[in-house]
A and B are shown apart, each in its own frame.
Chain A
Amino acid sequence: MSTAFVRQLGSESGVQLNPLRDNSEIPTTDNSDQVFGIMMRATRGRIDKPFAVDRGNVFKKLGSGEQVRLSALNEAWVHVVEALNKGAYQAIVQRLSTSAASIKYAVVAQEMSTGENPAPTGDFTFTVSETLPATPYLFAVKHLECFNDGIVLEFRAEETSSGGLPAGNDKLTLRLRDKDGNLLYEFYGSLKSDAKDDYGNSAYLPDVALAQTDAVEITTGVTGALAVIDADSVAYGYDDNGQQKWAKSGTLVCFVEGGTAYTTQDYMGAREKLQYTQFDYAYLSSGGTQAPALLAQLAQLAFDTNRQLRFGIPGNLTPEAAVAFVNQLNMGASQTAHLMHAFWAPLKSDDPTGVNPHGYFGAETLNIAYGCGRNAQKNAKGFAPKNYPIAGREWPLQRTRIVQTYSPTNQELNLLARAKINPVIYETYTGGGRYVFRDSLTCALVESSLKKLIAVADMSTSIDESVTRAAKDFLQLPMDVSVKKMRDFLATLFEGAQASGWLVPSNDPQMNGAAWAYDVRPNEQRPYDAMDVSYWLRYDGTNRQTFVTQTLTR
């Protein structure tokens, strides 16, 4: 093929084709508003950084759950599983751990005969060790996904021959399974560090594992002629029936959770990991935690990341205790109190996951899940109906055998509303009664302000996210170009928001009847390298109270 152009033209005659210039890109949002973050105790999951789970892998990654009667901390697992099945796209999980937690090596070594001249028996030993052994071993596996219930290793080598006789093979297939036999990983590599595959890439087992995942670290403990699976071993070739021979371990418990005595430093460490993760999420869930210390860290995270925190107040508390629970956290004093949303569900129900008996399960993560499901339904302009809060008639609790254990009086409902707590209780509507999120208040200590409404918090955080994301895209451009791009972006964004019902005309005299206004300009003091972006928006509100009067006339 002869091309009619070159990429760089010198002095010669010819045609230079420049790379395609793309001015068509429109800033868009991803589906992070269908994802929530959570800090929780789990029986599986890495402890060094957050990881994503979805409804397809939640059992594999977080385990099968333990009963709440063993530890109240296990409620978080129920929340995550339920949320993923009821609308959440993903959960970003930071597993809580203490300094006593430790990950150990699963060490595989050749079994040696006893006596004066020890020799390989053809079998293998599987042990768990804090450190790598000083004595030779075949290989060691460090599984960073930290299964409390342990892992199982199995490996085998294919038959090879040398001079017509079976010879030891340095290449082996290694499988990691969970204790129930479900396959987690499979690697095919060599025990020799200089091994290459057909494409010249490293076939060294540790390198193969590293290329495939960062959750498994493998080290080898033999070199040279010893770095093989012997032909007479139980992991070599085929048995008399032609079946593959595998050397298989029992369940190796390589992770010690080290208890659940979480200190403030443990909570803070988890918070920082969730803040600086590469995963994005729009909501934070408390996961039914009863620990004010964890809630305080989540509130800080909500402030740092401008994400909404939805937390539950234990359903077995009375309204007075529920108010004390919220007040002691002093959330109203936060600058971002509108990002914190409290739910109190005095309801007992069947466990949606089936692991626990009938009991109290918080509803805050379910509220987030409904929100995630709603956010997936974007209109033609890319806006989800966030002006509809997850509350009231259209969002009943999808659980079975719900029993309300406390029926607040009107005065107690008033007390809860003043404390900015949203009750989740039975209400009667056209078509029948149901258990619903009765209100949609944020923790902002305001009386008549848009800041008190969850729908406004949802929309304003979404707008903030879009604007800051676009602003980041426009960094490191010429100032004039950056200002123009930002203005164009904001005009399009706000027009779309108004068309989608998020914004309504303002009656503020300065707004001149407009629903939105913005101002983008180079900073007055630092016009060479700083740009100021300001915008004023009038969001639509939520009808929380309706006053009805009938007047009889003649």
Chain B
Amino acid sequence: MTRTVELGAPSLTGKDANDLVAEVFADAAYPLKVVVQNHMPQDVVFPEVEGLFLRHVANRKDSQKTVLIADHDLFQRLASSVEQIAELNRCELALTLSEVADAPADTDAADTDAARKPSDGLSYDQIKDALKARGIEFPANAKKVDLAALLDADAAANA
């Protein structure tokens, strides 16, 4: 089952964000892939998590992003920051974080995984973020196919 947590200002929700995260993601395995949805009327950025820059809630496309949370401590620090920003801006519901469910297992899963490239299904920005996360430098105006090739080659080299 996909785990989801809604974070907001504790003074309005009556719930501590750290407690909520600890409760909902108690047995989560890290690194954890989550989809983050911004519900606030303003852009927000949480640089603690690579690439977590979300547009305001009215921007349906860019107010949501999939990010990778490296460990439990980072998740807790993120919760502290979200809580603080929500409190400063008086938002009862600031962000929703939902775990990305793994693909259902089937008999061909191994074959599918082997054929699947790391860049498959990622947007241009997500590929750039992934390259940055791996410390790979690339030209600012590079095309998506070139960036995808870089990412896949690096993944293959490290496999």
Interface residues of A (CB under 8 A from B): 72, 259-264, 266-267, 290-293, 296, 314, 316-318, 320-321, 323-325, 327-330
Kindly list chain A residues whose C-beta atoms are within 8 Å of the C-beta of B18.
261, 263-264
Nearest-CB residue, chain A, relative to B21: A261
Contact flags B71-99 to A (C-beta < 8 A → 1, else 0) = 01101110111011100110000000000
CB pair A330 B89 closer than 8 Å: yes
Kindly list chain B residues whose C-beta atoms are within 8 Å of the C-beta of A324.
42-45, 53
Nearest CB in chain A: distance from B79 CB, A: 8
Q: Assuming A260-B77, A261-B72, is B47 touching A317 (CB within 8 A)?
A: yes
Q: Assuming A293-B83, A296-B88, A316-B132, is B43 touching A327 (CB within 8 A)?
A: yes
Interface residues of B (CB under 8 A from A): 16-18, 42-48, 53, 72-73, 75-77, 79-81, 83-85, 88-89, 132
Kindly list chain B residues whose C-beta atoms are within 8 Å of the C-beta of A292.
46, 81, 84-85
Q: Once A and B bind, how many residue pairs between them come within 8 Å at the CB atom?
A: 80
CB pair B80 A328 closer than 8 Å: no
Q: Which of A292, A296, A329 has the most chain B CB atoms inside 10 A of its CB?
A: A292
The docked-state distance in angstroms from the alpha carbon of A266 to that of B18 is: 11
CB pair A327 B42 closer than 8 Å: yes
The docked-state distance in angstroms from the alpha carbon of A327 to that of B53 is: 13
The docked-state distance in angstroms from the alpha carbon of A314 to that of B17 is: 24
The docked-state distance in angstroms from the alpha carbon of A446 to that of B142 is: 40
CB pair B44 A330 closer than 8 Å: no
CB pair A291 B81 closer than 8 Å: yes
Partner of A293, one of B43, B73, B80: B80
Nearest-CB residue, chain A, relative to B75: A261
Q: Which of A291, A323, A327 has the most chain B CB atoms inside 10 A of its CB?
A: A291
Kindly list chain A residues whose C-beta atoms are within 8 Å of the C-beta of B53.
317-318, 320-321, 324
CB pair A290 B83 closer than 8 Å: no
CB pair A293 B72 closer than 8 Å: no
CB pair A314 B80 closer than 8 Å: no
Instruction: Contacts A264-B80, A328-B43, A328-B44 known; list 17 others, CB within 8 Å.
Output: A72-B48, A261-B18, A262-B76, A263-B18, A263-B80, A264-B17, A264-B83, A291-B48, A292-B81, A293-B83, A293-B85, A296-B85, A317-B53, A321-B43, A321-B47, A328-B42, A328-B85
Nearest CB in chain A: distance from B59 CB, A: 12
The docked-state distance in angstroms from the alpha carbon of A316 to that of B42 is: 20
Interchain Cβ contacts under 8 Å between A and B, 26 examples: A260-B77, A261-B18, A261-B77, A263-B16, A263-B18, A264-B18, A266-B80, A291-B48, A291-B80, A292-B81, A293-B81, A293-B83, A293-B84, A316-B47, A317-B53, A318-B53, A320-B43, A321-B47, A321-B53, A324-B42, A325-B47, A327-B42, A328-B45, A329-B85, A329-B88, A330-B88
